[in-house]
Amino acid sequence: MSEKTRLSFLSLMIYLFVFILMVEWLKPVIELTDTDHLNLFCLFLALSFLFYLVKLNWKIAIPLKILFIWWILVSIYTEVSFFSRDSFSFLFDTTIVNIKALIAQEWLAVTDSFRTLLFFILLWMTTYLLNYWIRVRQNLLLFFALTVLFIAILDTFSPYNGERSIVIVLAVGFLLNGLLYAQKVINENKVQPFGKLLLTTVLSLFGLIAVSVGLAFVLPKAGPSWPDPVPFFTSSSTTHTGREGSGVGGIRKVGYGENDEHLGGAFFGDDTPVFYATVPREQYWKIETKDTYTSKGWIQSDTEAQISSYEKENPIALDISPGQEEELAVANILMRQEFPFVVQPYGLTSINSLEQVTLSLNATNQKISTFRGGDTVPLGSYEVSFREPTYSLQALRETTSESLNGLTTEFNRYLQLPETLPSRVRDLATSITENETSLYDKAKIIERYFRRNGFSYNQTLAAVPTGDTDYVDQFLFETKLGYCDNFSSSMVVMLRSIGIPSRWVKGFAAGEVDHKENNVPVYEVTNNNAHSWVEAYFPEIGWMPFEPTIGFSNSINIKYDLDITANDFDTPVPVQPPSSKDKPNTEKTELSKGFTDVMKSGLEWISNRKAAIIWSCVGLLLLSLTAYRYKRKWISKVLIPLYRIRKNDWYTFEKMYHQLLKQLSFYGLGKEQGQTLMDYAQQIDAYFGDKNMRNLTSVYEKGFYGGNREDINYKKMRESWENLINQLSG
């Protein structure tokens, strides 16, 4: 390939990339303004850039472009043939009409065809400007930056989805700028031969960008640190409070999020009080449960619920029975927001209120709503009597997987899992629980799984699953960052995948002690305390709450009626990491999983050796400082072999010469900027008392200023150079 062909190939690539960037500008404009015929506009762009590329004389290019625009206008807006006389009259008529409209300043009277024409002119001007940037300025950084900004702004503040676009723009933009730079260097320096340079530049550029794009693609990505503003703005105009776990939508003005279909994403803290609870011990306040996991969130399966009504003070039959041996406790609830339902402590027996109310229990989701005369009403304050449930450890330990076989079909909805659930979730659940025999221990292992293995609690970086991504799978294997919804949903899914019936529970955590009334603490429960957790069903035991979320704890009364030490109970069972034999779902997930595994183990390794790492860093720093301080002693031992392995040619010599200048400068014999090399060489030689520097400099000057690089005795030069370098060390 001759150099000319190479250069024109380079420009072809540059124009091609500019064209791609321009198309990324066009796409959102076309999409957002409901314009059609993207292809025609692209065609026009391609045509323009082609003309600029081949440097077509403007006397030909301009009429061609005008004809093209005219042809498009005629073929889009009329039925007439382009070659007929009618096309002329169409052109004439529209021009007249629009000029009239413009003069009269009736902007709305301007026809579409005229607007299209204006758009074409705009495109024309843009291509002209771009050509100027390419040919004259040889710099497109501004255009690139503007493109990124444009796409980013549109993606953020308009319905346009720039996810693909931004990747294309970034990759193409970097390539484009790199190529332009290569072209500039070649043009300005007349580098001969530049073939090699071009090849290395372009190839390394392509390689670099391909590697970064590839890495970015497979690496796990955190979710947005602030929510997409468009839905945020639209939702904030209709709601005023947020509830953790209620997801992006579904926040009602009544105050409690009902919709959990789309979990994930960041949420904002909100310390608006919801209610005050006067209760002797910290309680979790359960509101309802959900049974169907959709791979994005939770819904309730059975809408035709079995409702049973209760009068106040009457005992209510929930499906978790109150503890028999516990004392009856009473919680006074003072509502600050209007909830037409009851917040329930575990072991609730009855509800009393001064207000007129009928209570109705929905058996499918255990929600107790408050009614008055057929309509739901919020209660201002009420009393809840409860006995905390107790669980016998012995009984819990005796639960076996076989007992699950006797479950009625009623429990099927608590074992439901979406078909799309990636098998690695199941595999993980099976592998971590396979050493446990009792159902309770299996559940406990899953509950504790999150406490290690690299999970962390984070409200702002929780990801939103998009496309086919499963909410639980994403959390377990990719992000490992999230809040209660992530932990609780994951635990439910894992429990179900090993056959233990379980459900997702919504409500509020205990809150903070606000003050004390008659020595009884009053807990303030705010929107921030909105919470979700897990209930698992064990045959012969019943439903039992679990708290997988890091940083939360729900104290459950467990009777240690076993003949074993408590230690044994608490001994954490080593958690098996997911075996590498896991069947990969697809290659992509396999790859990214491999990456996350490597990263995870790397991070663990680092965190286990923090002190050692810090000290070795300090040591290294000290070592390098010392080495730097005394580098005169050893630098020659490094430099001489380093340059000895290189070829004897001009480029090596040039590098060696500049290296020498650098070392001399470190030595304290720096060249002043206005000093010529020969003058400097004389100074250096006078200092060392020989002729080495002058020898080197005269050859360098001859090669550099004179362009005469033949007949150079590189061996001799190397000798002089090594002498000087050694002298600097000595």
Partner 1 sequence: MTEHLQIQSIISNIEKVMIGKKNIAELAVIALLADGHVLLEDVPGVGKTMMVRALAKSIGADFKRIQFTPDLLPSDVVGVSIYNPKEMEFEFRPGPILGNIVLADEINRTSPKTQSALLEGMEEASVTIDGVTMPIPKPFFVMATQNPIEHEGTYPLPEAQLDRFIMKLKMGYPHPSEEIEVLNRLEKRMPIDELHAVISLEELINLQKKVKDVKVDSTMKGYIVELANRTREDTYIYLGVSPRGSIALMRASQAYAMLHGRDYVTPDDIQYLAPFVFCHRIMLRPEARYDGISTEEVLSRIVKRTPVPIKRKIIQ
- Long-range contact list for 25-29, CB < 8 A, 24+ apart? 25/147, 25/150, 27/165, 28/150, 28/151, 28/154, 28/158, 28/160, 28/162, 28/165
Helix 3-32 with 112-132: angle, nearest 10 deg: 150
Of 81, 624, 708, 726, the residue at the interface with partner 1 (CB under 8 A) is 708
d(CA 727, CA 697): 17
- Shortest Cβ 424–partner 1 spacing (Å): 50
- Shortest Cβ 679–partner 1 spacing (Å): 7
- Shortest Cβ 462–partner 1 spacing (Å): 45
Helix 439-449 with 423-433: angle, nearest 10 deg: 120
Looking at the Cβ atoms of 168 and 678, the one nearer to partner 1 is 678
Of 28, 36, 20, 16, which Cα lies nearest the Cα of 149?
A: 28
d(CA 599, CA 620): 24
Looking at the Cβ atoms of 383 and 701, the one nearer to partner 1 is 701
SS3 content of the chain, % helix, strand, coil (to 5): 50, 15, 35
- Shortest Cβ 661–partner 1 spacing (Å): 8
Looking at the Cβ atoms of 390 and 683, the one nearer to partner 1 is 683
Looking at the Cβ atoms of 58 and 651, the one nearer to partner 1 is 651
Of 196, 707, 711, 730, the residue at the interface with partner 1 (CB under 8 A) is 707
- Shortest Cβ 137–partner 1 spacing (Å): 13
Looking at the Cβ atoms of 189 and 420, the one nearer to partner 1 is 189
Of 384, 304, 366, 418, which Cα lies nearest the Cα of 542?
A: 366
Looking at the Cβ atoms of 646 and 658, the one nearer to partner 1 is 658
- Shortest Cβ 716–partner 1 spacing (Å): 20
8 Å CB contact between 283 and 345: yes
Looking at the Cβ atoms of 193 and 707, the one nearer to partner 1 is 707
* Separation of CA 570 from chain center: 37
Per-residue contact flags (x/-) with partner 1 for residues 94 to 133, judged by CB under 8 A: ----------------------------------------
Contacts of residue 661, defined as CB under 8 A and 6 or more positions apart, other chains included, come to: 671
Residues 664-683, interacting with partner 1 (CB under 8 A): 672-679
Of 68, 77, 133, 704, the residue at the interface with partner 1 (CB under 8 A) is 704
Structure tokens at 235: 């939702």
Looking at the Cβ atoms of 72 and 661, the one nearer to partner 1 is 661
Structure tokens at 304: 């035709």
Per-residue contact flags (x/-) with partner 1 for residues 488 to 527, judged by CB under 8 A: ----------------------------------------
Of 557, 702, 712, 729, the residue at the interface with partner 1 (CB under 8 A) is 702
- Shortest Cβ 677–partner 1 spacing (Å): 6
8 Å CB contact between 348 and 322: yes
Is the Cα torsion angle 614, 615, 621, 627 positive or negative in sign?
Answer: negative
Select the span of 22-30, 368-376, 563-571, 705-713 touching partner 1 (CB under 8 A): 705-713
Looking at the Cβ atoms of 302 and 649, the one nearer to partner 1 is 649
8 Å CB contact between 554 and 286: no
8 Å CB contact between 557 and 388: yes
Of 193, 374, 641, 706, the residue at the interface with partner 1 (CB under 8 A) is 706
- Shortest Cβ 706–partner 1 spacing (Å): 3
Looking at the Cβ atoms of 189 and 456, the one nearer to partner 1 is 189
- Shortest Cβ 184–partner 1 spacing (Å): 8
Looking at the Cβ atoms of 184 and 451, the one nearer to partner 1 is 184
The verdict on 419 binding partner 1 (CB under 8 A) reads no
# of chain residues touching partner 1 (CB under 8 A):
20
Looking at the Cβ atoms of 46 and 197, the one nearer to partner 1 is 197
d(CA 491, CA 637): 61
Residues 175-214, interacting with partner 1 (CB under 8 A): 185, 188-189
Angle ∠(636,642,645) on CA atoms, nearest 5: 135
Q: Which residues pair with 267 in a beta bridge?
A: none
Residues 626-665, interacting with partner 1 (CB under 8 A): 658, 661
- Shortest Cβ 674–partner 1 spacing (Å): 4
Looking at the Cβ atoms of 385 and 695, the one nearer to partner 1 is 695
Say whether the peptide bond before residue 572 is cis (omega within 30 degrees of 0). Answer: no
d(CA 378, CA 321): 26
- Shortest Cβ 136–partner 1 spacing (Å): 14
Q: Which residues pair with 174 in a beta bridge?
A: none
Strand, coil or helix: 614: helix
Looking at the Cβ atoms of 681 and 728, the one nearer to partner 1 is 681
Select the span of 51-59, 434-442, 521-529, 703-711 touching partner 1 (CB under 8 A): 703-711
Helix intervals (H) in 158-274 = 163-189, 195-218, 229-236
Within 13 Å and on the Cβ side, how many CA atoms surround 389? 21
- Shortest Cβ 131–partner 1 spacing (Å): 21
- Shortest Cβ 190–partner 1 spacing (Å): 8
Structure tokens at 142: 């501004």
Side by side, which strands form the sheet with 367-372? 307-311, 358-362, 367-372, 375-376
- Shortest Cβ 708–partner 1 spacing (Å): 7
- Shortest Cβ 690–partner 1 spacing (Å): 21
Looking at the Cβ atoms of 138 and 589, the one nearer to partner 1 is 138
Of 337, 335, 381, 385, which Cα lies nearest the Cα of 357?
A: 381
The number of beta carbons lying within 10 Å of the beta carbon of residue 245 is: 23
- Shortest Cβ 612–partner 1 spacing (Å): 43
The verdict on 435 binding partner 1 (CB under 8 A) reads no
How far lies 726's CA from each of 483, 634, 637, 722, in Å?
Answer: 63, 10, 9, 6
Side by side, which strands form the sheet with 285-290? 285-290, 502-508, 530-538, 542-546
d(CA 480, CA 603): 13
Per-residue contact flags (x/-) with partner 1 for residues 3 to 22, judged by CB under 8 A: --------------------
Looking at the Cβ atoms of 302 and 679, the one nearer to partner 1 is 679
Q: What residues make contact with partner 1 under the rule CB under 8 A?
A: 185, 188-189, 658, 661, 672-679, 701-702, 704-708
